[in-house]
Each structure stands twice: as C-alpha cells, then as structure tokens.
Structure 1
Amino acid sequence: MHRLIQKMRPYLLAWLRRSRSGPASLVRRLSYKDMKRATDGFRRIIYSNTHGAAYRARFQDGEVALVKEVKDLNQGKDKFFKEVQLLGQLHHRHLLALKGFSIGCKRLLVFDNIENGSLKEHLNDPLKTPLNWNTRLQIAIGVAAALEYLLLFSNPPIYHVSISASNVMLDENYTAKIVWTMHVET
C-alpha cells in the first residue's frame, strides 16, 4: 500500500494544484506595535502551552484573528521565515489559514478567527453545552483529514505534527480547524 501511495503522490499533487481555485494568498508582515495593541498587550490569552501562547486579536479595522506565539528559542530568523513561507502555502478545509506574521520581542503568527474557541474549552468547561456524539465524530474526522493532507498531499510532506485539544479550533459550524506551527529542518 505504501508503494502505491508513493507512486501516486506526484499525480495527486499535480491534480491538487490544478484543482485549487483563485490566487495563492499572501502572508503579510504586521508591525509588533499593532500586534501588541490588537491583543490588548498580550492579555487576551486563549490558551498557553510549552510551545507558546495563543491570543485573540482585534485590529483597528475590526478584523478579529487568532495570534499564536512561536517560542522556539533555537530558531533563527531564516528558519522562522522559512516556516512562515511553508505555512502560507498550506491550504485545507481543516487547517487554519495563515494570514500574517510579526517579529519583535515575540515571534507571532496570525491565523483566521475562530468563533467557537478550542476543543479543549468545550471538553473541559462545565459551563459550555457538551458536544453531542455526532459533532465529536465530525471533529475527529476533520482532524484525520487535516493529518492526511499534511502527510500525503503537502509538498514537502509534513510528518511531525503535535495535535491536542488546545490546538483544535472550532468554527461557527463546529468544523475542526487545526492551528499549529512546524519546525523546519535545514
């Protein structure tokens, strides 16, 4: 089975590139000052883990976004820019789209806004309405589809992905969207 996938991979990638509609989105660079203002001085924390924190940002034009801090201290600027470039090329229904980045005291990635927060909030918060089993199954299928895309259809294939309930975000229809960063090998 693995050999079949390796043989078919170039054809599937070519089909995937042809099937995408519209121009590739550009990742814009934002000022650190604007990021600090939009996140209220980095006080609007959505979640925090060993890889960094995620913040809710509201920009002056009214746009709301998820801002993720990249805490890899061993990563130089070149590696960070390479990561931004690769993340900007990934497009899938179950991955959060990278919209921008910022470098200052913190290295920040800006993703699409998510209406319903993280899966962790829905599983652990007693004040939230519990997710029904059909919704939970759809979330699991969405996460599996995102992992399949990263492993089989992204170029280069992404093998090292850490998935937790904190980085599985839910949109207004409770569709799972993974927010993550990868660490580029040189």
Structure 2
Amino acid sequence: MNLLLLLLLLSIWVLSFPALSVPPDVKPDPPASDPVIPTEKDPFFKNTSDLGAHSPEVAEVNLVHHQDLNKKILVALVVSSSLLAVILLLLSCFWIFRLRKKSNEKSHQKSDGAKGISFGPILDKFPSMRIGGKKGSIAAIEYELLVNATNNFDEANILGEGGLGRVYKAQFSGDFRAAVKKIYAGGLEAEREFENEVESLRKIQHQNIVPLLGYCMHGEARFLVYEMMENGSLELHLHGPNKSRLTWHLRMKIALDVARGLEYLHERCNPPLIHRDLKSSNILLDSNFQAKLSDFGLAVTEGHSNKANIKLSGTLGYVAPEYLLDGKLTDKSDVYAFGVVLLELLMGRRPVERVAEAQCQSIVTWAMPQLTDRMKLPNIVDPAIVNTMDLKHLYQVAAIAVLCVQPEPSYRPLITDVLHSFIPLVPVDLGGSLRLMDPAVSIR
C-alpha cells in the first residue's frame, strides 16, 4: 500500500513538473544590457525584410527551442498519463484482491465450522427421490415418497414423540434410512416452529448438529426429514425403560460433543444462535455415539432474543431462572441447560423428580449442596459409572456443572471455556486429548 501511494505522488509530481519548469537544455535569451528607447533613427516597427536580414540566426534558434519544449511537455504528459493509468490499474487489482481474500476467509470459516460435512453424499443416497423444489440447500421432498418410506406412517415405525409431533423411521430405496418428523397439522405455533427449524438448519452444517435433509408441506401437515441417528436420544439411554450402561468416558465424550455444538451456535454463527430447548431428549447419538443437537424449532438469534414477541418456551428443569422469571434470554441460558444435562450424565437422574403427590424437586436444588462436598459427591454418582472413573476427573466435572447452573448468569462460564475444560477429560480416540495409561482398559 505504501508503494502504491509513493507511485501516485510521483505521478502527480511528474504531471506538474513540465508546466512549471524550464527544460535543462533550453537556455533563456540573455537580458539586454542597455534598454533602448525607440527614436526616429531606430523606429520601433521595422521592415520585415530588414528584420530577417538583420538577425536570421536568432529567430531560427528560438523556433527550435520552442519545438523542443513542446515535444518534451508532450512526452512528459504521455509518460505521466501512462504511469497514472498503471497506478489506477494496480489499485483496482489490489482492491479486487482484498475483496476476494475477505470472501475466501468467510468461506474458510464456514467450512471450518462445518468440519467438512456436505449434504451431497447424503442426498445422493435418495436415488428415487423426486425434488419438488429447493430452499437453500434443503431438498423439498414429495409427500408420496414419505408415505412409502414410513409404510404410511405406521405406528411400528415410531421412534419418538414430542409436543408437536411424532418421529418415524423411514426406509428409502437403496437401503438408506432417515428419520421423518411429522408435525401435527394446524396451529400458528406448529407452523412457526416448522418455518423456524427449516430456516435455522438451512444455514447450519456442523458435525455435532443433526443435518436436516429435507422438508415437505402437504395440506396443513408439515414434515422434516433428518439424518438417522442409530442410537436414539441421550434421554433413552439415561432414563428409558431399557436403560443402557454408558461408560464414564462415553459420557464425557457426549458432554464434549454437546459443548462443541453449542460453541458453534454461540461463537461461529452470524448472528449467534440460542438453542433455547437444550435437553437430553434433543441430544441424539449416532452409531458411534457421537452426540448431535436436534430440534431447532425454538431457536432464536441473539439479536432477537429479548423481544416482547418471543414467547416463553422450554422444558421444566432445563429453563434458566432469569428466563423463567424475567424473560431474559442469552447464550448463558443454553449454558444453564448444559449444566443440567451434565448433572444427568453424572447422576443418571431426571432434571425434575416427583418427591410427593403434589411436589417436585429440581436436580439442581437437590444436588448443589453435595456437588461441592468431596466426601458426599461419590455417593450421588450414577452406580453404572461409580467404579470406572477417576475421582480427580469427577471433581473437575462437578465443578464445571456447579458453575454452569449458577442462578446469576454472569457467574456462568462461556461455552467456549466449558469446551476447553472437557477436552483433557476425553480420550484421544473419542475426540479429546486424554491418553489412557492402560490401553487395554475398555472405554466403551
């Protein structure tokens, strides 16, 4: 940039130089020694023939000098104009380079956040899919294809049920399976959540967020098609009828995956996105137990998080106190919900449990006094992992959970800090940096 500025100043100097200076090889006429007043003997106006005869050599020299001067000025103008054109061209190239560099940096950030994930290979597995249209990178799928894939939405294919609809297992041609969420027809709330989820997931691609493969609108019914998550939800593993025995290391991996997903929403999305409904039932596990966030129907951008038209929503036990009491919603609200999920992973208990016929107790209220007591802490840990963990790591995770569920939002950590705290607690082959002393120990 300094070089371009120097060239520009040089061109301006060259442009102004010829008009204001005398060429070095043109000598001015010597001044007359004695000015003469014209008289009758020396008339002021002379005959042209006398003038030519009297000083022919001087006139010829003056004419040549003027011609040389004009030529030099013309050459200087041509050179300076060419130089100015080159400078303008260089400035244009520099500006174009800057614009392309900024564009490449944005593309690089997006690809880095996506971790190289692309919908192309997934959508290629729908050989018989007929696309009715496009909305961003999300395919519009015809209703008949969903009916055939779910066997007319047979109850035997139900994977789960939420407040606004059911999720069905869908078998497409080519042995490709997906999950189809059927949203109950009618109602402004259902329509709003459907549109919000499509709009949010249309712009999101990350390894810890469930990809939305397509959508469908048929009459008043709305459908969303997701990547199939073979191991279901975290809630089923922790609280379901066939409660699985997730090991300590797998639980730490799940916590790390959830933190990575939230960090992407809070720090890498523009504008930042608040999930607003983080809970164990919305954390899904693929065949490798990689956790992915789902259900973005209630998600809001940070710039619109405190508007009056944002309805108070969420699930009891996960909702941050400032949002529940005052309607204040920030990224720290997601951090609070993450802390509750972390307590579920540690203790294997639900976020809200009934203690009497008309009385319920929050896991936060019950666990907080014991989380900070190193003598009591091992006694409240899920029996499935009590003998498989390092006590030092247990104390560290408990400390993170205590910070995340603080009543005052400003006392809670950023999800980025939580993420970096978990990396050393997860084995290398599960996505962390922990190197196990005994490789023969099973982490599954």
**TM-score (norm. length: structure 1):** 0.78
State the 1:139 CA deviation: 0.7
What's 2:411 paired with? none
Partner amino acid for 1:65? A
- 2:168: which partner in 1? 55
- In structure 2, the partner of 1:101 is 215
Deviations 1:34-83 (A, max 9, x none): 11221222221111121322221111332101122345821597985564
Q: 2:194, 2:288 → 1: CA distance?
A: 32
The one-letter amino acid of 2:216's match is S
Partner residue of 1:9?
none
Alignment partner of 1:180: what SS? coil
8 Å Cα contact 2:232-2:284 kept in structure 1? yes
Asked whether 1:39 is paired with 2:134, we answer no
Distance 2:242 2:291 in 1: 21
Pairing 1:68-107 to 2, within 5 Å after superposition: 68-71=181-184, 73-74=187-188, 80=194, 83-104=197-218, 105-107=220-222
Counterparts of 1:172 and 1:107, CA distance in 2: 27
- TM-score, length-normalised on structure 2? 0.35
Contact 2:143 2:217 (C-alpha < 8 Å) held by counterparts: yes
Distance (Å, rounded) in 1 between the aligned partners of 2:110 and 2:142? 32
* 2:273 alignment partner, SS class: coil
Q: 1:56, 1:67 within 8 Å by CA — same for their partners in 2? A: yes
DSSP-derived class of the 1:121 partner: helix
The equivalent residue for 2:230 is 115
Higher strand share: 1
Are the structure 2 counterparts of residues 76 and 66 from structure 1 closer, same or farther at C-alpha, using a change threshold of 3 Å?
closer
Structure 1 counterpart of 2:151, one-letter code: D
Over 3 Å counting, the alpha-carbon distance change for 1:128 and 1:94 in structure 2 is: same
2:292 matches 1:169: no
Change (3 A) 1:129 1:84: closer
Aligned mate of 1:30, from 109, 133, 141? 141
Distance 1:29 1:158, change over 3 A: same
RCO higher in 1 or 2 (8 Å CA, sep ≥ 6)? Answer: 1
From 16, 19, 35, the equivalent of 2:109 is: 16
Q: Which runs of 5+ in 1 are unaligned?
A: 1-12
Aligned residues: 175
1 or 2, which has the higher helix percentage? 2
**Residues of 2 paired with 1:22 and 1:98: CA distance?**
12
In the alignment, the residues of structure 2 paired with residue 64 and residue 35 of structure 1 have an alpha-carbon distance, to the nearest angstrom, of 11
Matches within 5 A, 1:118-137: 118-137=233-252
> Separation in 2 of the partners of 1:59 and 1:35?
8
Identical residues among aligned pairs (%): 31
The secondary structure found in structure 2 opposite 1:147 is: helix
Q: Which has the larger radius of gyration?
A: 2
Q: Which shows bigger deviation, 14-23 or 57-66?
A: 14-23
2 CA distance for matches of 1:145 and 1:172? Answer: 19
> Any idea what SS the aligned residue of 1:40 has?
coil
Shift of 1:100: 0.7
- Secondary structure of the structure 1 residue equivalent to 2:274: coil
d(CA) in 2 for partners of 1:46 and 1:122?
14
Distance 2:249 2:295 in 1: 25
